[in-house]
Amino acid sequence: MLNNQTITDMKQLTINIPDYYYNTFMEYFKHIPDASLLNESSFVLDEAKVAILDRRSQSPEESCLSLEEVNRKLKR
């Protein structure tokens, strides 16, 4: 925070930079106390979660197994 001001608004920044600048940018932004840093792998994980949730929501409920049923099948 600058001059004891409360930060109420945040902007999201997405950049594409050459690999050789990556560490420099990450080190710079680490010094901004209210900044949240996500790397590329975070977005890949989020995309995978969304795909799984979409697939799950489109599946009929009767095709889903309960945890007990799954455990029984795995023990066979």
The per-residue b/e assignment along 19-36, b for 16 or more CB within 10 angstroms, e otherwise, is: eeeeeeeeeeeeeeeeee
CB 33 within 8 A of CB 1: yes
pLDDT at 52: 82
Give the model's confidence band at 42: pLDDT under 50 very low, under 70 low, under 90 confident, else very high: low
* Top-confidence residue, 42 or 50: 50
- Would you tell me how many other CB atoms lie within 10 Å of the CB of residue 16? 4
